Structure 1
Amino acid sequence: MDDTGPVGFVGLGHMGEPIALNLVRAGVRLVVWTRRAERVRELAAAGATGAADVREVLERCEVVFFMLSDADALEDVLGWDGTGFGTRLGGRTLVNLGTVSATAASAFDERVRAAGGRYVEAPVSGSRVPAQRGELVVMLAGEGDLDPVERLLAATSRTVVRCGPVPTATATKLSVNAFLVSLVTALAESVHLAERSGVDPAVLRDVLDAGPMASAVSRMRLAAMLEHDYTPQTAIDDVARNCALVLQLAEASGTTAPMARQSHELYRRSSDLGFGADDMAAVVEALRDPTRT
């Protein structure tokens, strides 16, 4: 696998765009495509090369990164209809930066290998700001030599952790997400309880930010909840989808994830209230809603 040639990147959304920009800034010869033509033009202005479609990306690049919303989006973009797919994937390494279910990851691995290519999973932990700063944590899994993929990902991440074969990176990411989601949900409960109990919000912030439980995540989300500033870093709808994936993984593993289940309910409720595109801190609104029983 040659990581010095042109590298493809498909999906320039909320997370894909800053990741792709960091690759370009690191000197990677990036060939990009997404459905929104203006995003392709923006990346081209930054130094990437725009492609007309996914087929062109696969024809020009041996390594192609995908950052798409879910497994259905990946299937749709690749046009996986059984016609001509093997020709497009032969000798190619597909690196999936997005989060799918462990079952979907295993299925993609099998189908890509059957088509003569290689599937590498590299889901990332972190929101848009860490993506912009190149401070993501990447979980990497797949067969064969992963060093070239890791070298490419260095420009996007604080660290890359090798997890084993597919789908261990996906299982790791979903396990991490279970903790993150429960953390933010518990923080929302604390904020709501303090508000209903007459606690001064400034006092709550001072105590939590100074205490042993404080973290970059808690400080950022606490400020957002208190200030009602839900500028999206990780959207409510994305978190709800990830909660569902956590629950699927728990069921497949013969266990339960009660906090993830409760969080899933609250994130879906927040979405129903109109906060689906807002940051996950808006989960507090599901508790603040006076109609909630």
Structure 2
Amino acid sequence: MTATIEIGFIGLGTMGTPMALNLLKAGTPLVVWNRSKHRSDNLAAAGARVVDHPIDVFARCRTVILMLADEQAMDAVLARGGHDFAARVCGKAIVSMGTMSPDYSRCLSDDIHAVGGVYVEAPVSGSRKPAEAGQLVAMLAGDADDVVAVRPLLAPMCRQVFECGAIPAALRMKLAVNVCLITLVTGLAEATHFAKSHNLDLTQFAAILDEGPMASDVSRIKISKLVCGDFTRQAAITDVLKNSRLVMEAARDAATSLPLMQASLALYAETEALGLGDDDMIAVIRAIEERTAGSHGKSS
């Protein structure tokens, strides 16, 4: 893959836009499409070729990166199940960087290979800030030669890339990472709620956490947002709820018990029901606060 070959990029959301911008900054020529066209403006200003339809991306590019929200969006862009599917993916390398069901990804891989295409899983760990900084962590799965071909393309977006084996191993690994991330952030929100309920100094609480053995990039960012009451989206409640459901579906398939994730899933569903789906995942504290208020109401 040389800098003179145009790469397709479809899906310019919270993560996709900074990822695509980092590719452009590294000199990768991009052809981009997004359902909401105004989201392409920043990419156009940075030198990307913006097209009017997904089919135009596939027509111009042998490698197409998809950073899409869900399986329905994937199927729509690929025209999967329709007459245009083979024409879009035959002879193409499809690189899926979103988080999907492992079972869905396995079936999609079979369908793409059946019509002469290449499919590589490349889900990433990280939110908007790491995406902007090119500091995501990618997990790759697919045929060995395909993974080797795709890996250099990810360098401008990722600080580290791990090869996980055959599809859907990368997505399973991503879901395992999400179990840690989601329960960590939920626990941080609960700890902050506990501190607030005892009228502790939250700035001091944050400083102690930041200097302690449990501190991480994630905990430092999220505790700062909690102290400031800043719920600006980095990883949205709705997206985390989707990922939580994917984790629990995969756990059921493996007959695995995940009690902390089960509790987290309920809390993120309650947070979304409060109308906070577009807020950052740390807004899960609102559901915890609602439970506290509800328990006080019952006791009175």
Shift of 1:266: 0.5
Paired with 2:203 and 2:91, the residues of 1 have a C-alpha distance of 57
The 3-state SS of whatever aligns with 2:162 is strand
Residue aligning to 1:231: 232
Contact 2:62 2:91 in 1 (8 A): yes
CA–CA separation in structure 1 for the residues paired with 2:227 and 2:16: 29
TM-superposed deviation, 1:4: 5.0
- Say if 2:202 and 2:227, in contact at 8 Å, map to a contact too: yes
State the alpha-carbon separation in 1 of the partners of residues 256 and 94 from structure 2: 31
Give yes or no for contact 2:3–2:29 (8 Å, CA) kept in 1. no
The RMSD of aligned alpha carbons is: 1.4
Is 2:101 the partner of 1:86? no
Q: Is the 8 A contact 1:11 1:66 kept in 2?
A: yes
What do residues 124-143 of structure 1 show as CA deviations (whole Å, max 9, x unaligned)? 00000100110000001111
- Residue 65 of structure 1 contacts residue 96 of structure 1 at CA under 8 Å; is this kept in 2? yes
Residue 41 of structure 1 and its aligned partner are, at CA, apart by 3.2
1:47–1:97 Cα change, 3 Å: same
Moved more, 175-184 or 110-119: 110-119
The Cα of 1:3 is off from its aligned counterpart by: 7.5
Q: Distance between the aligned counterparts of 1:210 and 1:40, measured in 2?
A: 40
Alignment partners' CA distance in 1, 2:198 and 2:150:
51
Q: How does 1:132-211 map to 2 (within 5 A)?
A: 132-145=132-145, 146-211=147-212
Residues 123, 139 of structure 2: 8 Å contact kept: yes
Which residue does the alignment assign to 1:218?
Answer: 219
Distance 1:201 1:2, change over 3 A: closer
Task: From the superposition, tell whether residues 104 and 2 of structure 1 become closer, same or farther in structure 2 (CA, over 3 Å).
Answer: farther
**Change in CA separation of 1:292 and 1:75 when aligned onto 2, cut-off 3 Å:** farther
Give the aligned partner of residue 128 of structure 2.
128
| Secondary structure class of the residue paired with 2:137 | strand
SS at match of 1:164: coil
Equivalent AA in structure 1 for residue 264 of structure 2 = S
CA contact (8 A) 2:3 2:27 kept: no
Alignment of 1:239-278 (within 5 A): 239-278=240-279
Partners of 2:2 and 2:205 in 1: how far apart? 53
Which residue matches 2:68?
68
2:53 alignment counterpart: 53
In structure 2, the CA distance between the partners of 1:44 and 1:202, relative to structure 1 (3 Å rule), is: closer
Residue identity in the other structure for 2:165:
G
Q: Distance in 2 between matches of 1:236 and 1:13?
A: 15
1:136 maps to a residue whose letter is L
Q: Name the aligned partner's letter for residue 174 of structure 1.
A: L
Q: Deviations over 1:28-65 (max 9, x none)?
A: 11100011222223312111111121111111100000
**1:32 aligns to what SS in structure 2?**
strand
Cα drift, residue 291 of structure 1: 4.2
Distance in 2 (CA, whole Å) between partners of 1:4 and 1:262 is 49
How far the C-alpha of 1:227 sits from its partner, in A, is: 1.7
Q: Aligned residue for 2:18? A: 18
Deviation sequence 1:186-235 (CA, Å, 0-9, x none): 11111111111222212211221111011111111111112210011000
Give the drift of 1:79. Answer: 2.1
Question: Which residue number corresponds to residue 101 of structure 2?
Answer: 101
1:40 equivalenced with 2:43 (yes/no): no
1:3-23 Cα distance to aligned partner (Å, 9 max, x none)? 751110001111100000011
Q: Structure 1: which 5+ runs fail to align?
A: none
- The residue type paired with residue 203 of structure 2 is A
| In structure 2, C-alpha distance between the alignment counterparts of 1:82 and 1:104, rounded to whole Å | 17
Give 3-state SS (helix, strand or coil) of 2:23's partner.
helix
Per-residue Cα deviation, 1:146-197 (whole angstroms, up to 9, x for no partner): 2231111000010010000100000000000000000011111111111112
Q: Between 264-273 and 74-83, report the one with greater CA deviation.
A: 74-83
Report the Cα distance in structure 2 between the residues aligned to 1:292 and 1:135, rounded to whole angstroms: 41
Which consecutive segments of 4 or more residues in structure 1 shift more than 3 A?
Answer: 1-4, 290-293
SS in 2 for 1:95: strand
Counterpart CA distance in 1 for 2:204 and 2:20 is 41
Any unmatched runs of 5+ in structure 2?
296-300
Q: Aligned to 2:163, what secondary structure does the other structure show? A: strand
